[in-house]
Chain A
Amino acid sequence: MKLTKLSTLVLGCIIIANSSQAIDLTVVSWGGAYSKSQINAYHNPFMELNPDVNIIHDESSYEAVAKLRAMREAGNLTWDLVDAVPSDAIRLCDEGLAMEVDVDEILEPAPDGTPASEDFGASLVSECFIPQIVYSTTLGFRTDVESWNGNEPDDVCDVFDLESFPGKRSLEKRPINNLEWALLCDGVAKEDIYDVLETEEGQNRALAKLDTIKDEVIWWSAGADTPQWLADGEVVFGSTYNGRFFALIEEAKQPVKILWDAQVFEYDGWIIPTGLPEDRLAAVLDLVRFATDTQRLADQAKYISYGPARTSSNALVGEHATLGIDMAPHMPGHPDNAYNVFYFNYDWWADYRDDLDAKFQAWLAN
């Protein structure tokens, strides 16, 4: 009898101690300006509201899939929330490494009551994916190229036009986007592109189009490459994420312009790793619910020129926190920019990525 009382007391103490103990959440993201925007818009306000939660930042998103897989094999999950692009989210979902979620259940509806699934719309590309932002991969060019005789590219296909716009280009060292643009500029209609790309002839056609500029292309693998090369004059024309262009043009004041034509819309968002213990999962769900509400998503645009994934957030986008620029015109989804958008087919790429990457690399190496 005595023993039972004592053990109850001890147990009670442990529970109390546990509940009052702060929870450390490891949140993984991409680092740089993007992580900063998340910290300012989500993490810091969340920690103010929840003093018992401490967020630890990790910048390993670029190897999230491999690391999560390795963690599963080692049986030691140290991450609580991971920022991932949809293709990685699909992979993680396929591998059972990311948790499937019901967005209507775990996320806030829009202020007007629209359920989250409707508010997020097309950005819900996988059952495991909780969207955050819309960004685009698009082209930019230097405005001071002498040999262009005052002309400026206004069409995505100008990147293939070496006669009117000579000079080095930079494109991403992977098939995604490049093959689509190549087919688009080889006369394939936007809606037919993935059907054409599914065939051997279509793939060869895309690569043949890229062949016409291959000698003039420097291939990038880090998002910072193109802005750096444009600034150095190494290239005159190149693709990267629109946020990088914003920083290059508005913050570094380089003579560069964005070509929004055929910009490729992409998303970025959270995934929750499977196998979190209950207390950490509860904290993560709190954080995600907070960080994806309409106001928070709009807040993020103060720090970086990526658009909120919620429709309801768009109206709330204001000025840049330090530059004082009105951010709406810099969003990929702004009507002035989104006149010709290319929508990325994630499911298609999930299937064709390995095969086309091998072919693309073989093409590059030869």
Chain B
Amino acid sequence: MVSVDSIIGRNSLHRKVQRSLRIQKLRALGLIAPLFIFILISFVIPIGDMLFRSIENQLVSEVLPRTTEYLKSEQINEDWEPPNELFWHLYVDLAIAAEVKLHTRVGSRLNYEKTGISSLFRKSGRSIKRFGADDYRKALTDQIPELTSIDYWELLAEGTKYGYTRDTYNAWKKRLIENDDFSEKTKPSDFLFVVLANDIKSSGTTPSPDTILEEKLLPVISELPEIRFKELFLETDEDWAEPDVWDTIQLYSPSFTNGYYLNSADFKKGSDGPELRPENERLYVLIFSRTLFMSVTITMVCLLLGYPVAYFLANLPLKYANLFLILVLLPFWTSLLVRTSAWKVLLQNEGVINDVLVAIGLISNLERLELINNQTGTIIAMSHILLPFMILPLFSVMKTIHPSYVRAAKSLGATPWTAFRRVYFPQSIPGIGAGSILVFILSIGYYITPELVGGTTGTFISNRIAYHISSSLNWGLGAALGSILLAVVLALYWVYDRVVGIDNVKLG
């Protein structure tokens, strides 16, 4: 017998096989690539982004680097008084930030943690322009007219002598470049002259001035009035004297924070670790537990209503079953909003259901049922909307349960009820599992229906998330709430797997 080796050589055969396998793999990869990219873009990246946002807190330290650096070593308590130097750093930070309107962003970020900081920063960003920096500019440029040119400042920044000036100038320039506002014609901002004067003054204490700059400027600078930053800031807003404000800045200066998660659990960051919020501000634990409770209730209602329907459908001849299935799916043909609005018309106090109940004398006109704008409304409307998601998996699982099982049970002496309980029902559990998981997970993240019919007690955590995303713009808190929701779903899924077994879930 002629071996393959002897004809083409072992290695070349190996290579050929390898190559054909590789081509096969690449082809397979090419086929799943669109889905993979889709999932990556629409799923993995957004979830990753959400998780990142829920802990991200770079804004404060990026915009107020000098202030936060200084605060690091401060022990802030009730008797603490902000030192003068702190206001100097705050001035420089705010001046750079105000050039590109970043100070107000930090203000609204910190306002989530402490009310009032938003306007404090807004006001201060405006008022620092009136702190007298323009006098410095005038005086200095009178002496050295080149100081009005950005090129001169570039040269200054190359030198090593005035470190604070260099760093400040570079930080200022970087912000402007980020904002597309920097060019050769850009004029240096007034506050830069204050910084420069300050640097010259402190280095000029040496007996002999060693540069023309110092020689020319030192006499002018010593004549300029000193800017009392602390006084000026306190004049703008006396809140700057409050340790609380500085405490908040200090607490939120790290680049990452657990503050959003604490907030989501009704805690807040205190200087001695997390502390529970006062009772009238606790909201999220209540809403989370309510969301879980209502989702479970909706799942149970769907199961109770859907099981008999699915059973009925599964035992019909196929042509009728298909017809009825279309009826089951009918709600999907109308928009969610229309269906929910229809429930409003049906359920409201003067609505159809109440009118009918009054008309047939079941209730009196004065005791109309509160069926909407509360939990009842949400549960009714959502059960209706989610019912098909329960019926379909149940139906497809029941369809596979051969009638001979129940017949066998009966022939073995079981009453119809026993036959159902011990033989049919256990075999339909995979459908119950699939339907319940589907309905539960869909309902726990539901948004529109609870918003429209939930009133105040029937809203879900997703409504709060939506509020923070679109209204309060506290995206970090929204992301934290969303992450917790995701974690809860995954945890429940895990528990379900442990208790029932995920193999026991069938969609058909």
Residues of A within 8 A of B (CB): 62-63, 65-66, 69, 91, 93-96, 168, 173, 204, 207, 218-219, 221, 232-234, 347-348, 350-355, 357-359, 361-366
Q: Which residues on B sit within 8 Å (CB–CB) of A363?
A: 280
> In residues 109-144 of chain B, which contact A (Cβ within 8 Å)?
111-112, 115-119, 122
**What's the minimum C-beta distance from A90 to chain B, rounded to whole angstroms?**
8
Q: Are B286 and A352 in contact, CB atoms less than 8 angstroms apart?
A: no
CA–CA, A69 and B109, complex, Å = 14
Q: Which residues on B sit within 8 Å (CB–CB) of A352?
A: 115-116
Nearest neighbor of B120 in chain A, beta-carbon distance = A351
With A66-B470, A232-B348, A364-B456 as contacts: A350 and B119 at CB distance below 8 Å:
yes
Q: Are B455 and A218 in contact, CB atoms less than 8 angstroms apart?
A: yes
Q: Which residues on B sit within 8 Å (CB–CB) of A94?
A: 101, 104-105, 107-108, 118, 122
* 12 A–B contacts, CB within 8 A, in A order: A62-B470, A65-B471, A66-B473, A93-B104, A95-B108, A352-B115, A354-B112, A354-B472, A354-B474, A355-B115, A357-B472, A365-B457
CA–CA, A362 and B280, complex, Å = 6
**What's the minimum C-beta distance from B50 to chain A, rounded to whole angstroms?**
13
Which of A65, A219, A359 contacts B455 (CB under 8 A)?
A219
> In residues 287-320 of chain B, which contact A (Cβ within 8 Å)?
287, 290
**What's the minimum C-beta distance from B142 to chain A, rounded to whole angstroms?**
29
Q: Are A218 and B282 in contact, CB atoms less than 8 angstroms apart?
A: no
* B481 interface hit (Cβ, 8 Å): no
Q: Which residues on B sit within 8 Å (CB–CB) of A359?
A: 280-281
Q: Which residues on A sit within 8 Å (CB–CB) of B467?
A: 357
**What's the minimum C-beta distance from A278 to chain B, rounded to whole angstroms?**
12
With A350-B118, A351-B111, A361-B464 as contacts: A366 and B286 at CB distance below 8 Å:
yes
* B349 interface hit (Cβ, 8 Å): yes
Q: Are B116 and A351 in contact, CB atoms less than 8 angstroms apart?
A: yes
| Chain B 73-116 per-residue mask, 1 if CB under 8 angstroms from chain A, else 0 | 00000000000000000000000000011101101100110011
Q: Which residues on B sit within 8 Å (CB–CB) of A221?
A: 451
**What's the minimum C-beta distance from A82 to chain B, rounded to whole angstroms?**
14
Q: Are A66 and B119 in contact, CB atoms less than 8 angstroms apart?
A: no
Q: Are A351 and B115 in contact, CB atoms less than 8 angstroms apart?
A: yes
Q: Which residues on B sit within 8 Å (CB–CB) of A63?
A: 470
Q: Are B119 and A347 in contact, CB atoms less than 8 angstroms apart?
A: yes
* B373 interface hit (Cβ, 8 Å): yes
CA–CA, A94 and B112, complex, Å = 14
* B150 interface hit (Cβ, 8 Å): no
CA–CA, A356 and B413, complex, Å = 67
* B469 interface hit (Cβ, 8 Å): yes
Nearest neighbor of B108 in chain A, beta-carbon distance = A94
CA–CA, A77 and B122, complex, Å = 25
* B350 interface hit (Cβ, 8 Å): yes
With A95-B108, A96-B100 as contacts: A353 and B348 at CB distance below 8 Å:
no
Q: Which residues on A sit within 8 Å (CB–CB) of B104?
A: 93-96
Nearest neighbor of A355 in chain B, beta-carbon distance = B115
**What's the minimum C-beta distance from A69 to chain B, rounded to whole angstroms?**
6
CA–CA, A362 and B111, complex, Å = 19
Q: Are A204 and B280 in contact, CB atoms less than 8 angstroms apart?
A: yes
* B489 interface hit (Cβ, 8 Å): no
| Chain B 29-69 per-residue mask, 1 if CB under 8 angstroms from chain A, else 0 | 00000000000000000000000000000000000000000
CA–CA, A62 and B116, complex, Å = 25
With A347-B119, A351-B115 as contacts: A91 and B473 at CB distance below 8 Å:
yes
Residues of B within 8 A of A (CB): 100-102, 104-105, 107-108, 111-112, 115-119, 122, 280-283, 286-287, 290, 348-350, 373, 451, 455-457, 459, 464, 467, 469-474
Nearest neighbor of B282 in chain A, beta-carbon distance = A362
**What's the minimum C-beta distance from A68 to chain B, rounded to whole angstroms?**
10
Q: Which residues on B sit within 8 Å (CB–CB) of A351?
A: 111, 115-119
Q: Are A96 and B456 in contact, CB atoms less than 8 angstroms apart?
A: no
Q: Which residues on B sit within 8 Å (CB–CB) of A364?
A: 456
From A96, A168, A352, A358, residue with most partner B Cβ within 10 Å: A358
CA–CA, A101 and B135, complex, Å = 26
Q: Which residues on A sit within 8 Å (CB–CB) of B100?
A: 96
**What's the minimum C-beta distance from A5 to chain B, rounded to whole angstroms?**
30
Nearest neighbor of B107 in chain A, beta-carbon distance = A94
Q: Which residues on B sit within 8 Å (CB–CB) of A365?
A: 283, 286-287, 290, 456-457, 459
Q: Which residues on A sit within 8 Å (CB–CB) of B472?
A: 353-354, 357
Nearest neighbor of A173 in chain B, beta-carbon distance = B456
Q: Which residues on B sit within 8 Å (CB–CB) of A362?
A: 280-283, 286
CA–CA, A355 and B268, complex, Å = 13
With A219-B455, A353-B472, A365-B456 as contacts: A233 and B283 at CB distance below 8 Å:
no
Q: Are A65 and B473 in contact, CB atoms less than 8 angstroms apart?
A: yes
With A66-B473, A361-B464, A366-B286 as contacts: A168 and B349 at CB distance below 8 Å:
yes
CA–CA, A299 and B290, complex, Å = 50
Nearest neighbor of B475 in chain A, beta-carbon distance = A69
By Cβ-Cβ distance, the 5 closest A-B pairs, closest first, are: A94-B104, A96-B101, A66-B470, A355-B115, A364-B456
CA–CA, A219 and B374, complex, Å = 11
Which of B105, B107, B373 contacts A218 (CB under 8 A)?
B373
Q: Which residues on B sit within 8 Å (CB–CB) of A168?
A: 349
With A173-B456, A363-B280 as contacts: A91 and B108 at CB distance below 8 Å:
yes
CA–CA, A232 and B112, complex, Å = 39
Nearest neighbor of A347 in chain B, beta-carbon distance = B119
Nearest neighbor of A274 in chain B, beta-carbon distance = B101
With A204-B280, A362-B282 given, name 14 new contacts (CB 8 A): A65-B471, A94-B101, A94-B107, A94-B118, A232-B348, A234-B350, A348-B119, A351-B111, A351-B116, A352-B115, A352-B116, A354-B111, A361-B283, A365-B286
Nearest neighbor of A362 in chain B, beta-carbon distance = B283
**What's the minimum C-beta distance from A349 to chain B, rounded to whole angstroms?**
10
CA–CA, A218 and B105, complex, Å = 35
Q: Which residues on A sit within 8 Å (CB–CB) of B115?
A: 351-352, 354-355
**What's the minimum C-beta distance from A84 to chain B, rounded to whole angstroms?**
13
**What's the minimum C-beta distance from A28 to chain B, rounded to whole angstroms?**
14
CA–CA, A309 and B287, complex, Å = 41
CA–CA, A39 and B372, complex, Å = 37
**What's the minimum C-beta distance from A291 to chain B, rounded to whole angstroms?**
25
Q: Are A233 and B280 in contact, CB atoms less than 8 angstroms apart?
A: no
From A62, A63, A69, A218, residue with most partner B Cβ within 10 Å: A218
**What's the minimum C-beta distance from B161 to chain A, rounded to whole angstroms?**
34
Q: Which residues on B sit within 8 Å (CB–CB) of A96?
A: 100-102, 104-105
Q: Which residues on A sit within 8 Å (CB–CB) of B111?
A: 351, 354
Nearest neighbor of A229 in chain B, beta-carbon distance = B348
CA–CA, A311 and B472, complex, Å = 32
**What's the minimum C-beta distance from B452 to chain A, rounded to whole angstroms?**
9
**What's the minimum C-beta distance from A233 to chain B, rounded to whole angstroms?**
5
With A94-B105, A354-B111 as contacts: A219 and B281 at CB distance below 8 Å:
no
**What's the minimum C-beta distance from A248 to chain B, rounded to whole angstroms?**
16
**What's the minimum C-beta distance from B268 to chain A, rounded to whole angstroms?**
11
**What's the minimum C-beta distance from B361 to chain A, rounded to whole angstroms?**
20
Q: Which residues on A sit within 8 Å (CB–CB) of B471?
A: 65-66
Nearest neighbor of B345 in chain A, beta-carbon distance = A232
Q: Which residues on A sit within 8 Å (CB–CB) of B457?
A: 365
